[in-house]
Amino acid sequence: MTAVDLIQALNTDVLKAIDHYVDEGKKVIGISAPGVVPEEIIHAAGLVPVTIWGAEGEVVEAKEYFPAFYASIILRTMDLGLQGKLDKLSGMLITNLSDGLKGFSQNWKRAIPQVPMLYIPYGQNRKIEAGIEYNARQFAHLRDNLAKIAGNDISDDAIEEAIKLYNEHRKAMLEFSALAAKHLNTVTPLLRNRVFSSAYCYAKDEHLAKVKEINEALKAMPEEDFKGKKVVTTGILVNSEDILKIFEEFGFGIVDDNVLHESLQYEVQAKEGTGNPLRALAQVFADIEGNTFVFDEKKLRGPIIAKKVKESGAAGVIYLMTKFSDTDEFDYPILRDDLQKEHIPMNMVEVDQQMVSFEQAKTALQTFADMI
């Protein structure tokens, strides 16, 4: 099979994934964005983690619990829960990494009791010793709660093995991103995103095998001469099919990203063989940089993206801003100023899972394509 055939064969429907694993007799744990949770503990428990990033469509039942000016990823995930579409989950893991997620966690606990809410109250002062120890203790609480759901203890050895698997998966995903940048005629923005989106719909060992196969197929191909506009993307979520089709219409090729849904979450490896795997996972959270949901007193997101632009030969940056995401909106002016100092063009397009008209985004992207 060609690389395109392999990518198109991937499942990106999280509801189908839940049905599949439950039909196999496995318990599934849902994870609400952002993707910075210690999935290794879930895997070590013999459970299957699936990450739910909302869904395209109109917000219906969630309006009873949230104001209209809430991030649509949260609203649409709440809708799925209220409509019973997530009832097969054995738990829903939510963090405190934004004000929106904090409210979401409590509304979920109250409105959807049939799916137990698992909560990680991260300590955002994450780099000091006390912060690392605190977060390791939170992961220990999570391990205990997951053990009750799984019906068995979760050993340190099992977590260590999961860390090795997840590290290998991280490497494979970053390798795919690098290979995709060398084959922009073949790996269009839509196909590139399909690989990242599919990661949330498989057990990690299964997805790793599929990504390795895709990578081998890309390695067997000659590097391609791309005549379009090379860009780096940033934001929380860049998986709108309509938006990505506009990317393709105006000849954009994605050579790298600082997108939480895509490669950003794979950039930090967990230390293996430490004898204290929970602390190793807490250290991962301490080492994360350039993530809008993680406290960064040095404001490194702009310099990180600027470095990606220079190393990849990109002509500019496209910022897909999640509407009503306070954390992402606060980052924007700082990031804009950082890129202006480096003379790097940037275009911001606001996105929302409730969007039905894309003319404004189309105009902005067409103008940016002409500019760069």
Between CA 125 and CA 70 the distance in angstroms is 26
Average pLDDT along the chain, 372 residues, taken 10 residues at a time: 97 98 98 88 98 90 92 94 98 95 96 97 96 98 98 98 98 98 98 98 98 98 97 94 95 97 96 98 97 93 98 97 90 96 96 80 93 92
Q: What amino acid occupies position 199?
A: A
Q: What angle do CA 121, 123, 125 make, to 5 degrees?
A: 165
- Residues near 145 by beta carbon (within 8 Å), at least 6 away in sequence: 91, 118
Name the one residue in this structure whose structure tokens are 């619990």. Answer: 65
Helix (H) or strand (E) holding 278: helix 277-287
| Domain 1-371 indexed as CATH 3.50.50.60 | no
Q: So what's the pLDDT on residue 356?
A: 66
Q: Is 46 left (phi over 0), alpha (psi -120 to 50) or beta?
A: left
pTM, to two decimals:
0.96
**What are the residue ranges spanned by the domains of the chain?**
1-371
Q: So what's the pLDDT on residue 354?
A: 76
Helix axes 277-287, 129-150, angle to 10 degrees: 120
SS (HEC) of 144-181? HHHHHHHCCCCCHHHHHHHHHHHHHHHHHHHHHHHHHH
Classify strands 48-52 and 346-351 as parallel, antiparallel or unpaired. Answer: unpaired
Helix (H) or strand (E) holding 85: none
Classify strands 316-322 and 346-351 as parallel, antiparallel or unpaired. Answer: parallel
